Amino acid sequence: MAPDLITVERSPGGRFETLMVFDATGDEVPLNGVFIEFDPLVLVH
């Protein structure tokens, strides 16, 4: 995915936005959210 299609504002109240595109149909589904809390020292695997 091109970097300009992903927005991550890494702070409380920051945005997370991206666009998911289904290969088979080309349908697009926007995904977005807002960080309630953000701890840069925590890794999610």
Q: What was the pLDDT predicted at 39?
A: 84
pLDDT in tens, 14-42: 999 999 889 999 999 999 999 998 887 87
pLDDT score recorded for residue 38: 82
Q: Full-prediction pTM beyond 0.75?
A: no
Question: pLDDT class for 45, splitting at 50, 70, 90?
Answer: low
- ∠ at Cα 15 (11, 16), nearest 5°? 110
Measured on CA atoms in the order 39, 42, 43, 45, is the torsion positive or negative? Answer: negative
* Model pLDDT for residues 1-16, shown as the tens digit of each residue: 455 678 889 889 999 9
